[in-house]
Amino acid sequence: MTTSAKLWVRLPLGALSGLLAGFAALAVAELVSAAVRPQAGPLTAVGGAAIDRTPTPVKDWAIRHFGEDDKLVLQLGILATLAALAIVLGVVALRFRRVGAAGVLIFGVIGATAALTRPDSTGFTDALPSVVGAVVAAVLLYYLIGRLTRPPRADRATADADSDRGAGWDRRGFVIGASAAAVASLGVGALGRYLTGNASQAAVESRNAVRLPAPASPAPPLPAGTQLKVPGISRFTTPNKAFYRVDTALVVPKVDADTWRLRIHGRGVARPVTLTFEDLLRRELIERDITLTCVSNEVGGPYVGNARWLGVRLADVLAEAGVRPPSKGGPADQLVARSVDGMTLGSPVEAAMDGRDAMLAVGMNGQPLPFIHGFPVRMLIPGLYGYVSACKWIEDIELTTFADYDPYWVKRSWARRAPIKTQSRIDVPKPLSRSKAGTVMVAGVAWAQHRGIDRVQVQVDDGPWRDADLATEANIDTWRQWSFPWKATPGSHTLTVRATERGGQVQTEKRTGTVPDGASGWPSVVVTID
């Protein structure tokens, strides 16, 4: 009778001990990583390793289903898994106390390995958050389980004498130990969070201190009529807060502009250079409206945005370093940009130097780059998908060849070269919406960066293709708005749109997925007219 009662009490308390140990591990790791490097924390390191190892189709699926919450979903998934394993270890420890504690240490080794093998790892200290966290947790689990499986010291002599070991348990010791562990973990974790926040303070202050100089070559004012006045259409210039974000960073890098450096080196670089943020701001700055697009954007998807960027012409910086494009006999055809978080993006050297406004951007819509968009400096090459052109938090540019080096995304089955495909999107009416019969405004955006949009056509059901009205073009590197006043009749209708780029090439009807070089096909919406 006593045995079953004990089991009922012990199982949940064993599970609770496991959970408390797991919580303590993460809290201690949080504090240690504040001292070492926030990115070296086990959740971030394991999460990052998981992102890098996620098969491309799964990652694509996650982006499609969770959008920009994909990282949150991943971290919640890791936390849930850890919690489940912590419970198992706690229960196992009831029977095999040392095995439970050793199990906790194994998790420490996994976390430490992940941290040490991250591309941005800065050395053995990156293992410390996981190792120290795991050691503390193992000791805690060992202690708590001890309270559950052994009677209190005072009773032990009698218990032993009764040869009834294990009949009792140290209720008082457990309650005190568990509560103390919970409270201490909360405190330690909160302190860690606070210190991490403080550590990024220098970066925040350096960003606040940035005064963006006026550009030597300002963007021409937007011509009247670039922004259509159709309710529900995208804004021509995407506000920074609404700009899409796609990257692999679980912790947004907070780079101090005062200590930031950009190194340019590699094949055919006659004069390798290292530039500071000040160096960039002192140079001649250009300002341009450029529409950025992600290769993971589905037909009709949200990963496209247009901003007014301020920066230094990349071609000038490269030329000063002695770089010649392949067309002028330069030995390097690939430019590999590397970020502070170890991301690598490969762009054609030719595109960076062929006269388009490829830039090292320092400003976005009149502000220093927001941290999530790459502060202090990111690269941009109009006409190319973000993953082959738009390195955020850039710190290194290496000139090499496509034959010699495959950057991050190319290793994960994306194309080496990826010009943006001509695409269009219907912003209004929304899919599956209802409108009243009469004139319904169909409107949206179309883009074919660095080629330009010449025509947009709309088809109702299986009817003829009819020309939409085009908004004024800002420049060939931006998207272009369009609208079509549709005489809508009652019933269910399918609206389809297609764009034609300058030169006459019509957006292809052929549906392809995003892998390996961007989705294609005509966007359409089904609407009901009452």
Ligand X SMILES: Nc1nc2c(c(=O)[nH]1)N[C@H]1C(S)=C(S)[C@@H](COP(=O)(O)O)O[C@H]1N2
**Partner whose footprint covers residue 365, from Mo ion, ligand X, none (CB < 5 to 8 Å by kind):** none
Q: How far is the CB of 244 from ligand X (least distance, A)?
A: 5
Q: Which of 393, 479, 482, 486 binds ligand X (CB under 6 A)?
A: 393
Q: How far apart are CA 387 and CA 349, in angstroms?
A: 15
Q: How far apart are CA 310 and CA 359, in angstroms?
A: 8
Closest among 76, 78, 62 to 110, alpha carbons compared: 78
Question: In the beta sheet, which residues pair with residue 346?
Answer: 336
Closest among 399, 391, 364, 237 to 304, alpha carbons compared: 237
Give the per-residue contact string, 17-56, with ligand X (x = CB under 6 A; - = no).
----------------------------------------
Locus of tokens 């030329």:
319
Say whether residue 260 binds Mo ion (CB under 5 A): no
Residue 38, token pair as written in the block:
């926030």
Say whether residue 343 binds ligand X (CB under 6 A): yes
Q: How far is the CB of 292 from ligand X (least distance, A)?
A: 6
Q: Which of 387, 409, 482, 484 binds Mo ion (CB under 5 A)?
A: 387
Locus of tokens 């019969």:
437
Q: How far is the CB of 246 from ligand X (least distance, A)?
A: 4
Say whether residue 243 binds ligand X (CB under 6 A): yes
Residue 11, token pair as written in the block:
């199982």
Q: How far is the CB of 343 from Mo ion (least distance, A)?
A: 11
How would you class 183 by CB atoms within 10 Å of its CB: exposed for 0-12, middle for 13-18, buried for 19 or more?
A: exposed
Say whether residue 244 binds ligand X (CB under 6 A): yes
Q: Please report how many Cα atoms fall inside a 13 Å half-sphere around the Cα of residue 117, on the Cβ side.
A: 13
Say whether residue 375 binds ligand X (CB under 6 A): no
The residue at minimum Cβ distance from Mo ion is: 294
Q: How far is the CB of 283 from ligand X (least distance, A)?
A: 22
Closest among 527, 503, 259, 304 to 423, alpha carbons compared: 304
Say whether residue 391 binds ligand X (CB under 6 A): yes
Say whether residue 387 binds ligand X (CB under 6 A): yes
Using the minimum distance from each CB to Mo ion, give the nearer residue, 234 or 296: 296
Say whether residue 341 binds ligand X (CB under 6 A): yes
Q: How far apart are CA 385 and CA 519, in angstroms?
A: 11
Say whether residue 142 binds ligand X (CB under 6 A): no
Residue 82, token pair as written in the block:
């850890």
Judged by CB under 5 A, the stretch of 48-56, 385-393, 445-453, 460-468 that binds Mo ion is 385-393
Q: How far apart are CA 269 and CA 263, in angstroms?
A: 11
How many C-beta atoms lie closer than 10 Å to residue 379's C-beta?
25
How would you classify the pairing of strands 261-266 and 394-400?
parallel
Residue 57, token pair as written in the block:
């189709």
Name 394's Cβ contacts closer than 8 Å, sequence gap at least 6.
Answer: 262, 337, 338, 339, 360, 374, 377, 378, 379
DSSP 61: H
Say whether residue 277 binds ligand X (CB under 6 A): no
**Strand residues in 350-479 grouped as ranges (E):** 359-364, 367-368, 378-380, 394-400, 423-428, 434-435, 438-447, 453-460, 465-467, 469-470
DSSP 323: -
Using the minimum distance from each CB to ligand X, give the nearer residue, 74 or 188: 74
Largest CA distance in the chain: 97
Say whether residue 425 binds ligand X (CB under 6 A): no
Window 92 to 111, contacts with ligand X (CB under 6 A): none
Number of residues that bind Mo ion (CB under 5 A): 4
- SS3 (DSSP) at 362: strand
Judged by CB under 6 A, the stretch of 352-360, 390-398, 465-473, 497-505 that binds ligand X is 390-398
User: Amino acid identity, residue 54?
Assistant: T
Judged by CB under 6 A, the stretch of 4-12, 185-193, 384-392, 442-450 that binds ligand X is 384-392
Q: Which of 118, 373, 455, 480 binds ligand X (CB under 6 A)?
A: 373
Judged by CB under 5 A, the stretch of 113-121, 293-301, 412-420, 482-490 that binds Mo ion is 293-301
Q: How far is the CB of 481 from ligand X (least distance, A)?
A: 20
Give the per-residue contact string, 295-314, with ligand X (x = CB under 6 A; - = no).
--------------------
**Partner whose footprint covers residue 244, from ligand X, Mo ion, none (CB < 5 to 8 Å by kind):** ligand X
Helix pair 42-53, 2-36: axis angle to 10 deg = 90
User: Amino acid identity, residue 22?
Assistant: G
Q: Which of 149, 185, 206, 339 binds ligand X (CB under 6 A)?
A: 339
The residue at minimum Cβ distance from ligand X is: 386
Say whether residue 408 binds Mo ion (CB under 5 A): no
Give the per-residue contact string, 211-250, with Mo ion (x = CB under 5 A; - = no).
-----------------------------------x----
Using the minimum distance from each CB to ligand X, give the nearer residue, 128 or 343: 343
Using the minimum distance from each CB to Mo ion, give the nearer residue, 294 or 391: 294
Question: In the beta sheet, which residues pair with residue 299?
Answer: none
Helix pair 42-53, 97-117: axis angle to 10 deg = 60
Interface residue list for ligand X (CB under 6 A): 243-248, 292, 294, 339, 341, 343, 373, 386-387, 390-393
